[in-house]
Amino acid sequence: MTSFSFGALLRRPEAGAALSLIAVAAFFVLFGGVKLGNFLGAASWLNFAANLGIVALPVGLLMIAGELDISIGAMIPAGSMSIAVVSGYYGQPILVGIAVSLGLGVVVGLVNGYLTIKTSVPSLIITLATLVAMQGLVLSASVLLTGNASVALAAPDWAKAVFGTLLGGSYQIIILWWVAMVGGYAFVIHMTPVGNWLFAMGGDKTSARNAGIQTDRMTVWLFVLSATSASFVGMCGAILFNSAQVSGGMNYIFNAIVSVVVGGVLLTGGFGSVIGILFGTLTFAVVNQGIYFTNIDRNWSSLIIGVMLLLAVLMNNSFRNMALSYSPKKKK
């Protein structure tokens, strides 16, 4: 954008998400009695947003490409259990644990990706299958190997410093990872040719393939990215909390999809933005965690999320239509 224009801003994919964020924050301040200053600096929602955001980003990119990955729900506990079993229970070096944890993500991502490109089964169904399968595998393996559904892990200082420490006493280091990833993804998706390929394949896969884009390879890579991101989040959690459980992670499926959709990504693919996904995640985190700062009863948060989701999608639709029908006024 060379010149600033409000209309141009509204036509961007993240417009709805940005407005949602402002609306939710305003709602809390006006009706919930939240002090904006206290709230903005609070660690709880930032930590929540960072963990969610790292998963939501690749899930959003997959959605732009026209695919869905819900196996992330099992990959988060799988990532944390695998490092805890390898480096905690069996006492292997932490690097081995990290490699196993991330490697598992790569393998599951490859399975998801290859099944998606080799069969005509929708990726929702394929990843539903791997979700359930991985859940069973993680539970059985940990009970079989350790006789327990929860395993302790004592990571060395350097690993804690990189993956699982609290900055300033309450901010998880993963926030920095998230920020870096947002920057990295935003650059690749919006500034380089790779991003163009992603939007093209999400818009019309056959035409994209005819234009010489390796859509199959891109699809597999994206699935690897999302499964590995999920196991990364699980791994960081295990290092931070010194233990891992087989349960948990299921909420991430729902939360990530809501964040991505509120963030302006089109469910059917071909449209969206990294910044939108960032705003969507922030909005979700503010509602989910911010409710504790208000004198509003916690039980209302689901209602707020539901209403917000609906409003955001409606807004996104109308902004997208604005973008479609936009044609510049005759200039000069």
Among the listed residues 178, 185, 197, 232, the single contact to other proteins using CB under 8 A:
197
| Encoded tokens for 91 | 């006492």
65 binds other proteins (CB under 8 A): no
CA distance 87 to 68: 32
Least Cβ distance, residue 204 to other proteins (angstroms): 5
CA distance 75 to 58: 13
271 binds other proteins (CB under 8 A): yes
The neighbour count for residue 59, using CB atoms within 10 Å, is 28
Least Cβ distance, residue 146 to other proteins (angstroms): 43
319 binds other proteins (CB under 8 A): no
325 binds other proteins (CB under 8 A): yes
Interior CA angle at 12 toward 8 and 13, to 5°? Answer: 165
CA distance 309 to 267: 13
Considering the complex, state which of residue 160 and residue 209 has its C-beta at the smaller distance from other proteins: 209
Residues 85-104 that bind other proteins (CB under 8 A): none
Interface with other proteins (CB under 8 A), residue total 28
302 binds other proteins (CB under 8 A): no
209 binds other proteins (CB under 8 A): yes
Max intra-chain CA distance, the chain: 77
Considering the complex, state which of residue 105 and residue 272 has its C-beta at the smaller distance from other proteins: 272
Among the listed residues 5, 140, 170, 207, the single contact to other proteins using CB under 8 A:
207
Span interacting with other proteins, options 69-77, 107-115, 206-214, 253-261, rule CB under 8 A: 206-214
Beta-bridge mates of residue 166:
172
200 binds other proteins (CB under 8 A): yes
Give SS3 for 251. helix
Residues 157-196 that bind other proteins (CB under 8 A): 191-193, 195-196
For the chain, how big is the Rg over CA atoms in Å?
20
* DSSP one-letter string for 266-293: -TTSS---HHHHHHHHHHHHHHHHHGGG
- Residue 67 vs residues 7, 169, 205, 260: alpha-carbon distances, Å: 30, 39, 11, 13
Chain contacts with other proteins (rule: CB under 8 A): 191-193, 195-197, 199-200, 203-204, 206-213, 266, 270-271, 320, 323-328
